Structure 1
Amino acid sequence: MKRRIASIIGVLALSALVFTGCGEDSTVSKVGTAPDGSEVAIEKATIKYMDDTVKGGYKTVSTEELNKWVEDNKDMVIIDTMPSDNFSKGHIPGAVNAELPKTGMADATDEQKEAFIKLLGSDKSKTVVVYCGFVGCARSDVGAVLAKEAGFEEVYRVPGGGVAWQEAGYEVEK
């Protein structure tokens, strides 16, 4: 009888772990990555991001790794592709601003392209990091593609952009 009760308690404990998100905070009622529970939207943005990265021929750097680069004063150019009013509210330390269209390369004007390329400088071996607001934002893809087309070798895009940077609690510059 005691063995049977112990087995039932074990099954209930295991079930509790499984149904609460594999041991994550049980006070959180949602399951998944999206704050609003829309895992489909995150999946869609992730697939597009991955496809853009392959097509664009650039690399990805995580928010955490970029923070290490910033702390280590890595020789790089960081470009925030959001509108200037967003940039002025807070950006990754050392970043410069070049607004690019959120709808993609087809909507980038010659002036935007030229301004972006000018910020890259002339050293094609220098690391270029491009970011925008969040995973589903296409502005950073436009910048990464422009940098690759201009002949830059080490081009990185930050998936979570400025939102992930701030959510991680890293320093922002104003």
Structure 2
Amino acid sequence: MKKFARVFAILCALTLTLTACSSGSNGDKKDATEATNKKIGTAKDGDEMKIEKASMKLVNAKEKGKYKLVGTEELKKWIDAKEDMVIVDTMPAKSFKANRIPGAVNAELPITMDKVTPEQKDAYIKALGDKKDKKVVVYCGFVGCERSDVGAVIAQEAGFKNVYRQPGGIIAWMDAGYDVEKDK
């Protein structure tokens, strides 16, 4: 897994380098400032460091938690194909009622493992069902939200074998323009 983190970091650096090269940058400070002012990169607000920090936090959490990741587009394909899975929204009930990925169940979890109560853990594991081989997809609000990490770790510890975290959460789902369910 350390190799994966190194490869990821190298790919990020290479992407940034190629982006700068393709924009005509010769590496001086003026070009960097112009690139920032044009908002080149991934971050809508031009602050690529926020994206990098969130990415590295995600990669490290995935390695530590020993679960898999699934992107928003891939999850949509799974849903459209009616794959046998349980999708768990770990956000508070108010958020779940307002917008959720179709077919998701709600099992609110805190942002860190040390804040999980025995009642929350039991309710969450109950929401996953009894089939340990069934695909489990956990999500929360957005990449920086760690409720889905907590859920993925608990599922792994409970013996579920096909645990996925959808890191972009409901925000990425809505950004992709996919339909949401909501309470009336």
Question: TM-score, normalising length from structure 1?
Answer: 0.83
* 2:51 corresponds to which of 34, 42, 57: 42
* 1:140 corresponds to which of 110, 129, 148: 148
* 2:135 corresponds to which of 112, 123, 127: 127
Task: Identify the residue that residue 31 of structure 2 maps to in structure 1.
Answer: none
Instruction: Give me the whole-angstrom Cα distance separating, in 1, the residues matched to 2:124 and 2:143.
Output: 21
Instruction: Give me the whole-angstrom Cα distance separating, in 1, the residues matched to 2:53 and 2:114.
Output: 21
1:41 shift after superposition: 1.1
Instruction: Give me the whole-angstrom Cα distance separating, in 1, the residues matched to 2:93 and 2:157.
Output: 24
**Counterpart residue identity of residue 65, structure 1:** E
The answer to whether residue 81 in structure 2 is matched with residue 72 in structure 1 is: yes
1:29 shift after superposition: 2.9
Provide, for residues 119-165 of structure 1, a one-character-per-residue CA deviation record: whole Å limited to 9, x for no partner: 01110000000000111111000000000000000000011111000
Unaligned runs of 5+ in 2: 1-19, 26-36
Percentage identity across aligned positions?
60
Task: Identify the residue that residue 156 of structure 1 maps to in structure 2.
Answer: 164
SS of residue paired to 1:78: strand
The answer to whether residue 124 in structure 2 is matched with residue 116 in structure 1 is: yes
Instruction: Give me the whole-angstrom Cα distance separating, in 1, the residues matched to 2:133 and 2:62.
Output: 19
Instruction: Give me the whole-angstrom Cα distance separating, in 1, the residues matched to 2:142 and 2:110.
Output: 14
Task: Identify the residue that residue 23 of structure 2 maps to in structure 1.
Answer: 18
1:32 shift after superposition: 1.2
How many residues in Structure 1 have an aligned counterpart in Structure 2? 152
Instruction: Give me the whole-angstrom Cα distance separating, in 2, the residues matched to 1:19 and 1:125.
Output: 51
Provide, for residues 41-89 of structure 1, a one-character-per-residue CA deviation record: whole Å limited to 9, x for no partner: 1111111110010110100000000000011111000000011101111
**Counterpart residue identity of residue 99, structure 2:** G
1:36 shift after superposition: 1.2
Instruction: Give me the whole-angstrom Cα distance separating, in 1, the residues matched to 2:153 and 2:159.
Output: 10
Give 1 or 2 for the bigger CA radius of gyration. Answer: 1
Name the Cα RMSD after superposition. Answer: 1.7
1:34 shift after superposition: 1.3
**Counterpart residue identity of residue 59, structure 1:** K
SS of residue paired to 1:155: strand
Task: Identify the residue that residue 181 of structure 2 maps to in structure 1.
Answer: 173
